[in-house]
């Protein structure tokens, strides 16, 4: 019989609806039940595309004997970390503090009031060397609760006290956004750069999306050749290796090796939105055709594989199919010959790095494209036939919940890509996604709009939005407004950031990850979540700072600029020591150091001169460039202030360029505008 998770909206929770475990969703009811029964909670945190989450579910949560013991001795709570990043953040801090590492699945045992006393990640069904089995862990903790209650409660109180202490900000970093920060961070990053294979550090290698955006902006501002070389080598290695899907586009989550050859095969919306934008910006900066191809293929993949019927984008594709990781994606020489015939099969094996020895399990190979094929037309035909054959394989499952923050990233990437690569269908997709976020994920409130974290099948979830949702959706709206000239989107961004300024401040210039009136009561008693660093997505605080920089430039608001600078203080202090965790903050710093430059393009929207000036502005690589587009004869009330009092010049469309509170003479010449933005 299905358990109570059958009523959940999260695909991850629904994956466990048929477990014999009597799962509860996170919430007051679960804690009330634990108090009533006087038993601990077992909080299991994961996400739908997590390979080892599936493994532990199959081994333990589907086992009747294990489930019976769990049900008898614990109140068992299942949490989707993507739906509830606040829960994940607090218990991950405890897990890392207690074990020295973290990851998913995350397994946390707490007192009935939510204070953790034992944390871990994956536990096997039988003891493996020094790792205890899950049944052993369950039995030991159940016994400790019965026989050593005071010790357990005391340990939980100590852990809760440690979690409640705010970590001190680094005192050795400068408090101002200046060149010293960037120089020190660049030096620290360079020490970890892999000159042979690209990327930073060793295996496993995750796509350093935010760091790459910073390096591209730094080169655009300063001409630093080393910064561009690090970004260029990393982008090339990722795009030509096995982490990139050489048949259909789109990136896997990370590479398990240092050479980008074998990926962990799950494909996440956030990675692909961020990497699409980075490749697009690299192409805008250098004109490299590889970047243009990868950006275009990734955009098409997003629309083909992740778009939902409502116009949003699903969270992820699973790593597994047919019960095996990567089964959908890998090939043997025999499989290529079966699809393509002997001649094309042998040629494709050479072009795509498929060997008899293989690079993956069971002699299969992950496809790579280490060099451009000698016959591009033949290669494209082979790719099409292999894609068609692959579609007949069992497909990985899709996590089709729509996450606000990640969809905001997708809106920004698709809007810019559509404008720069002449794909109005991508701009339309960005607009439709933004409309879903505005209509379904948003409600009006006295001090600014409020967001929910997720929706699924057109139904909004119950979890409130967190800081990254507000920041990334605002980022998407501002990018869409710059591309379309539709003032609604910049106005909506302003309302979201008003909520950030009203409900998220920490009193010291930074921001918490949850709103003051929407922080979960259990978590609030432990630690109000706050993380100033990037993870696989931009950290909430630097993302909010970056959006505030853009809004300040578009509106002329000193308040928003000051808030952005204050929010960057702690992330930039960390950046001088740990730049790989502060890429988005450094990218925002580059925008501030460059101005950012502001361009108001005014003219009738259907005028060729207006369109040419607008395109020239969008084509600039100036860091954090802010573009506003409007018709001075029909300017809406909510248009950005950057467009105010900007008349046509001699009756012709014009562009006004401003920087550092100083504006240049307006121009009607797209070439002159491009030169001004390169200066």
Domain harbouring 61, CATH code = 3.40.30.10
User: pLDDT value at position 175?
Assistant: 62
Give me the helix-helix angle, 583-594 and 179-190, nearest 10°: 140
Residue 230 within a domain: no
Q: Which residues pair with 320 in a beta bridge?
A: 325
Q: Which of 114, 142, 164 is the last residue of a domain?
A: 164
Residue 218 within a domain: no
Residues of the chain with pLDDT > 90, as a percent, come to: 85
Residue 194 within a domain: no
Q: Which of 116, 139, 164 is the last residue of a domain?
A: 164
Domain harbouring 580, CATH code = 1.50.10.10
pLDDT of 174 strictly over 70:
no
Pairing of strands 324-325, 320-321: antiparallel
Cα separations in angstroms, 250 against 102, 208, 266, 282 = 27, 15, 11, 17
Token reading at 322 = 């047919």
**Do residues 514 and 376 both lie within one domain?**
no
CA torsion, points 657, 660, 664, 668, in degrees to nearest 10?
0
pLDDT, tens digit, 9 for 90 and up, residues 218-275: 999 999 999 999 999 999 999 999 999 999 999 999 999 999 999 999 999 999 999 9
pLDDT, tens digit, 9 for 90 and up, residues 410-465: 999 999 999 999 999 999 999 999 999 999 999 988 878 999 999 999 999 989 99
Q: How confident is the model at residue 168 (pLDDT cuts 50, 70, 90)?
A: low
Whether the Cβ atoms of residue 259 and residue 241 lie closer than 8 Å to each other = yes
**Do residues 63 and 150 both lie within one domain?**
yes
Residue 220 within a domain: no
Whether the Cβ atoms of residue 163 and residue 527 lie closer than 8 Å to each other = yes
Q: Which of 147, 164, 181 is the last residue of a domain?
A: 164
User: pLDDT value at position 171?
Assistant: 45
**Do residues 536 and 483 both lie within one domain?**
yes
Closest CA to 614 of 433, 393, 427, 419: 419
Residue 259 within a domain: no
**Do residues 589 and 603 both lie within one domain?**
no
User: pLDDT value at position 679?
Assistant: 64
Encode 307-339: b = buried (16+ Cβ within 10 Å), e = exposed: bbebbbbbbbbbbbbeeebbbbbbbbbebbbeb
Q: How confident is the model at residue 169 (pLDDT cuts 50, 70, 90)?
A: low
Q: Strands across the sheet with 75-80, in order?
A: 24-25, 75-80, 41-46, 106-110, 116-120
pLDDT, tens digit, 9 for 90 and up, residues 601-656: 999 999 999 999 999 999 999 999 999 999 999 999 999 999 999 999 999 999 99
**Do residues 300 and 358 both lie within one domain?**
no
**Do residues 585 and 602 both lie within one domain?**
no
**Do residues 279 and 378 both lie within one domain?**
no
pLDDT of 170 strictly over 60:
no
pLDDT, tens digit, 9 for 90 and up, residues 260-318: 999 999 999 999 999 999 999 999 999 999 999 999 999 999 999 999 999 999 999 99
**Do residues 533 and 620 both lie within one domain?**
no
**Do residues 89 and 150 both lie within one domain?**
yes
> Which structural domain, as residue segments, surrounds residue 523?
267-318+399-594
Residue 99 within a domain: yes
**Do residues 560 and 619 both lie within one domain?**
no
Q: How many domains is the chain built from?
A: 4
User: pLDDT value at position 198?
Assistant: 97
More confident residue, 171 or 1: 1
Residue 205 within a domain: no
Instruction: Enter the pTM of the model.
Output: 0.92
Residue 188 within a domain: no
**Do residues 630 and 546 both lie within one domain?**
no
pLDDT, tens digit, 9 for 90 and up, residues 530-588: 999 999 999 999 999 999 999 999 998 999 999 999 999 999 999 999 999 999 999 99
**Do residues 355 and 469 both lie within one domain?**
no
């Amino acid at each position: 019989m299905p358990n109570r998770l059958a009523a959940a909206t999260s695909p991850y929770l629904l994956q466990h609806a048929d477990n014999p475990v009597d799962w509860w969703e996170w919430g007051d009811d679960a804690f009330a039940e634990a108090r009533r029964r006087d038993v601990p909670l077992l909080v299991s945190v994961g996400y739908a595309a997590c390979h080892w989450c599936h493994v532990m579910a199959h081994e333990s949560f589907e086992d009747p004997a294990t489930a019976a013991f769990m049900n008898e001795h614990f109140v068992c709570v299942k949490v989707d970390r993507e739906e509830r990043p606040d829960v994940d953040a607090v218990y991950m801090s405890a897990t890392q503090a207690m074990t020295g590492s973290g990851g998913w699945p995350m397994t946390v045992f707490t007192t009935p009031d939510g204070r953790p006393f034992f944390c871990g990640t994956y536990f096997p069904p039988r003891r493996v060397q020094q790792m205890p089995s899950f049944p052993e862990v369950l039995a030991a903790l159940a016994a400790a609760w019965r026989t050593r209650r005071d010790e357990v409660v005391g340990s939980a109180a100590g852990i809760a006290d440690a979690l409640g202490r705010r970590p001190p900000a680094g005192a050795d970093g400068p408090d101002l956004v200046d060149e010293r920060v960037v120089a020190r961070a660049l030096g620290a990053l360079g020490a970890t750069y892999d000159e042979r294979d690209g990327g930073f550090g060793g295996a496993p290698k995750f796509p350093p999306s935010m760091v790459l955006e910073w390096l591209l902006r730094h080169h655009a501002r300063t001409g630093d050749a080393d910064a561009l070389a690090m970004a260029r080598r990393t982008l090339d290695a990722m795009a030509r290796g096995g982490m990139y899907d050489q048949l259909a586009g789109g990136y896997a989550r990370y590479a398990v090796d240092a050479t980008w050859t074998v990926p962990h095969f799950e494909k996440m919306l956030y990675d692909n939105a961020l990497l699409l934008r980075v490749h697009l910006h690299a192409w805008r900066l250098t004109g490299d055709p590889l970047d243009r191809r990868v950006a275009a293929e990734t955009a098409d993949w997003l629309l083909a594989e992740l778009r939902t019927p409502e116009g949003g984008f699903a969270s992820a594709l699973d790593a597994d199919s047919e019960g095996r990781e990567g089964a959908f994606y890998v090939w043997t020489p025999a499989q290529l010959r079966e699809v393509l015939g002997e001649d094309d099969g042998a040629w494709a094996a050479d072009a795509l790095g498929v060997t008899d020895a293989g690079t993956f399990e069971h002699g299969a190979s992950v496809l790579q494209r280490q060099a451009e094929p000698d016959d591009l037309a033949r290669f494209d035909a082979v790719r099409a036939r292999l894609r068609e054959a692959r579609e007949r394989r069992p497909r990985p499952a899709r996590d089709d919940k729509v996450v606000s923050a990640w969809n905001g990233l997708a809106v920004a990437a698709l809007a810019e890509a559509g404008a720069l690569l002449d794909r109005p269908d991508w701009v339309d997709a960005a607009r439709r996604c933004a409309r879903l976020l505005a209509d379904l994920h948003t409600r009006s409130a006295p001090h600014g709009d409020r967001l929910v974290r997720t929706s699924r099948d057109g139904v909004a979830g119950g979890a409130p939005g967190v800081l990254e949702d507000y920041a990334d959706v605002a980022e998407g709206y501002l990018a869409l407004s710059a591309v379309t000239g539709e003032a609604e989107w910049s106005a909506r961004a302003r309302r979201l950031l008003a909520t950030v300024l009203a409900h998220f401040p920490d009193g010291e210039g930074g921001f918490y990850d949850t709103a003051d009136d929407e922080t979960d009561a259990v978590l609030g008693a432990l630690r109000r979540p706050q993380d100033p660093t990037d993870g696989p997505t931009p950290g909430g605080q630097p993302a909010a700072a970056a959006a505030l920089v853009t809004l300040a430039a578009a509106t002329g608001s000193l308040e928003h600029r000051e808030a952005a600078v204050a929010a960057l203080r702690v992330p930039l202090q960390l950046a001088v020591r740990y730049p790989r965790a502060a890429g988005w903050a450094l990218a925002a710093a580059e925008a501030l150091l460059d101005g950012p430059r502001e361009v108001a393009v005014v003219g009738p929207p259907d005028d060729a001169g207006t369109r040419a000036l607008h395109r020239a502005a969008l084509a600039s690589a100036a860091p954090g460039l802010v573009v506003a587009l409007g018709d001075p004869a029909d300017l809406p009330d909510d248009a950005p202030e950057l467009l105010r009092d900007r008349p046509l010049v001699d009756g012709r469309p014009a562009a006004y360029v401003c920087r550092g509170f100083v504006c240049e003479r307006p121009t009607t010449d797209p070439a002159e505008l491009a030169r001004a933005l390169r200066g």
